[in-house]
């Protein structure tokens, strides 16, 4: 009887000890991102489940929300040292976060894991170290509402600025609350300056920089674009409330059929189809200046990924990144996201199965990726410093020269 009792006690102790060890080895990774809501329901969680199955003891808790909400959450976490273990990143944030010491060096984590980075299509580096890896890349072409265009008697999507202006005029019907174009200029979320304003500059091969410094004053590539936009604004062809609209508001306006054209990410195609399956729309390249016939710069953004410096589970966090960047998983993720992959050996299947994405891929092949804000110091603040006088210029409270001089002087202050 004593032997039996001792045996049972030993067994119980082994079970308790084993459970304690398992609990000790168990790791929960917080992953803050805006990706899950923009993907088909359940698809991203399914990838996390697959990762967990391959990595017993690691659980992934997804902290998901809209882009703006996620950005605010990550910015606050960077400032307070409470950032999630793994974070979705916009390239415009990286410089600021690195200066705050909020991001861990992915170069160090790759080295510690003996990871071969030759398959990575791109790495965002500062001071010789990688802090962000683009997981998938989204181009920003023009979305056009084909039904509204047909009603307005427009046969083909606009290919030049003058055609765009003519189309915007034909599409605009204030009595029906329909406008030609939607322009988000929220100061709170100023990426409209990148995606919806400077994209016109890049589409015609122009640049807002010269020798690594801001070049706004006296730059015809920039001034012609802002004058073009002001002409549309003065003519009432842009959806009302532009100064307070954010990116998600822009997409909502287009999805509900209140605007005929918008510049937006391919990531929003899923969202549009889900919310308005009847919407008949197409994809086209951003119109170029009438006298430009070269390759068109195509604005783009990435779902970047990084690891928080405050994370206590950096090795496990890297395992999750390596999983997402593996050729097979990255092919599947880019396919369901309708994006271009971040692994050079990955191939999305949407090019062969969906006409919209085939068209976007053709736009991509015919042009080149262009986003001069990526990696610049305080990139979002640069957008905001441009946005504020731009609004005054659109409202007629500043001249063109005053606006561009004000913006350039503000920008230069961040480059000293």
Is pLDDT above 50 for 119? yes
Compute, in degrees rounded to 10, the torsion defined by CA atoms 310, 313, 319, 323: -70
pLDDT for 1 equals: 55
Six-digit token pair at 40? Answer: 């088909």
- The region of weakest confidence among 8-17, 180-189, 322-331, 385-394 is 8-17
- Residue 314's alpha-carbon distances to 29, 30, 83, 113, 199, in angstroms, are 9, 11, 13, 11, 36
Task: Give tens-digit pLDDT for 170-183.
Answer: 999 999 999 999 99
350 falls in which pLDDT band (50, 70, 90)?
Answer: confident
In order of their start, the domains of the chain are 25-137+301-356 (3.40.190.10), 142-298+377-415 (3.40.190.10)
- Residue 144's alpha-carbon distances to 130, 269, 275, in angstroms, are 37, 12, 16
Q: Which helix (H) or strand (E) holds 306?
A: strand 300-307
Six-digit token pair at 160? Answer: 């030049």
Cβ proximity of 161 and 289 under 8 Å: yes
pLDDT for 43 equals: 97
Task: Give tens-digit pLDDT for 71-89.
Answer: 999 999 999 999 999 999 9
Is pLDDT above 80 for 365? no
2 falls in which pLDDT band (50, 70, 90)?
Answer: low
Task: Give tens-digit pLDDT for 247-303.
Answer: 999 999 999 999 999 999 988 988 899 999 999 999 999 999 999 999 999 888 899
User: Which pTM does this prediction carry?
Assistant: 0.75
pLDDT for 391 equals: 98
Is pLDDT above 60 for 5? no
- The region of weakest confidence among 97-101, 262-266, 351-355, 393-397 is 351-355
More reliable by pLDDT, 6 or 395: 395
Q: Which helix (H) or strand (E) holds 249?
A: helix 247-255
Q: From CA 109, how far away is CA 321, in angstroms rounded?
A: 10
Task: With H, G, I as helix, E, B as strand and everything else as coil, classify residue 289.
Answer: coil
Nearest alpha-carbon partner for 121 in 292, 369, 399:
369
Write the burial class of residue 129 (CB in 10 Å: 0-12 exposed, 13-18 middle, 19+ buried).
Answer: middle
Nearest alpha-carbon partner for 273 in 90, 180, 172, 143:
143
Cβ proximity of 62 and 33 under 8 Å: yes
Q: From CA 48, how far away is CA 298, in angstroms rounded?
A: 31
pLDDT for 176 equals: 97
pLDDT for 10 equals: 44
Nearest alpha-carbon partner for 204 in 285, 301, 91, 92:
285
Average pLDDT value for residue range 390-410: 98
Q: What share of the chain is helix, strand, coil (3-state, %, to 5)?
A: 50, 20, 30
Is pLDDT above 70 for 13? no
> Which residues, in sequence order, are CB contacts of 166 under 8 Å at separation 6+?
158
Q: Which helix (H) or strand (E) holds 400?
A: helix 400-415
Going by their DSSP bridges, the two strands 368-369 and 86-89 should be labelled as unpaired
Is pLDDT above 80 for 24? no
pLDDT for 3 equals: 54
Q: From CA 120, how far away is CA 118, in angstroms rounded?
A: 6
Q: From CA 220, how far away is CA 180, in angstroms rounded?
A: 25
Q: Which helix (H) or strand (E) holds 208?
A: none
Which residues, in sequence order, are bridge partners of residue 301? 138
Q: From CA 77, how far away is CA 364, in angstroms rounded?
A: 35
Cβ proximity of 159 and 287 under 8 Å: yes
Question: Concatenated DSSP letters for 15-44?
Answer: HHHHHHHHHHH-EEEEEEESSGGGSSTTHH
Polymer length in residues for the chain:
416
> Which residues, in sequence order, are CB contacts of 361 under 8 Å at separation 6+?
351
Nearest alpha-carbon partner for 66 in 241, 195, 188:
188
Cβ proximity of 152 and 167 under 8 Å: yes
Q: From CA 291, how far away is CA 295, in angstroms rounded?
A: 13
């Amino acid at each position: 009887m004593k032997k039996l009792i001792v045996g049972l006690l030993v067994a119980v102790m082994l079970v308790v000890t084993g459970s304690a060890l398992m609990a000790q080895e168990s790791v929960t990774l917080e992953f803050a991102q805006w990706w899950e809501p923009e993907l088909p329901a359940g698809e991203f969680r399914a990838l996390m489940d697959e990762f967990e199955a391959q990595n017993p003891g690691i659980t992934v808790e997804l902290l998901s929300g809209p882009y703006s909400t996620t950005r605010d959450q990550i910015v606050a976490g960077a400032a307070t040292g409470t950032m999630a273990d793994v974070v979705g990143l916009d390239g415009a944030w990286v410089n600021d976060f690195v200066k705050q010491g909020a991001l861990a060096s992915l170069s160090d984590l790759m080295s510690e894991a003996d990871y071969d980075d030759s398959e990575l299509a791109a790495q965002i580096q500062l001071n010789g170290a990688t802090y962000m890896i683009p997981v998938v890349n989204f181009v920003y072409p023009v979305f056009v509402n084909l039904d509204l265009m047909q009603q307005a008697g427009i046969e083909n999507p606009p290919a030049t600025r003058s055609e765009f202006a003519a189309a915007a005029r034909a599409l605009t019907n204030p009595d029906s609350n329909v406008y030609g174009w939607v322009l988000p200029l929220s100061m709170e979320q100023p990426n409209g300056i990148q995606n919806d304003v400077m994209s016109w500059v890049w589409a015609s091969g122009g640049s807002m920089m010269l020798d690594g410094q801001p070049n706004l004053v006296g730059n015809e590539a920039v001034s012609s674009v802002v004058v073009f936009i002001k002409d549309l604004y003065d003519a009432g062809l842009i959806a009302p409330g532009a100064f307070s609209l954010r990116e998600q508001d822009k997409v909502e306006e287009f999805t509900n059929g209140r605007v005929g054209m918008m510049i937006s990410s391919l990531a929003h195609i899923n969202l549009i189809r889900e919310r308005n399956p009847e919407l008949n729309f197409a994809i086209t390249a951003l119109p170029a200046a009438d006298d430009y016939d070269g390759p068109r710069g195509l604005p783009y953004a990435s779902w970047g990924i990084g690891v928080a410096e405050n994370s206590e589970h950096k090795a496990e966090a890297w395992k999750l990144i390596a999983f997402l960047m593996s050729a097979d998983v990255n092919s599947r993720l880019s396919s369901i996201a309708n994006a271009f992959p971040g692994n050079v050996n990955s191939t999305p299947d949407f090019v062969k199965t969906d006409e919209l994405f085939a068209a976007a891929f053709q736009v991509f092949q015919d042009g080149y990726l262009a986003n001069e804000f990526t990696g610049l110091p305080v990139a979002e603040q640069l957008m905001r410093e441009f946005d504020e006088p731009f609004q005054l210029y659109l409202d007629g409270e500043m001249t063109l020269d005053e606006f561009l001089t004000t913006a350039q002087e503000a920008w230069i202050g961040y480059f000293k």
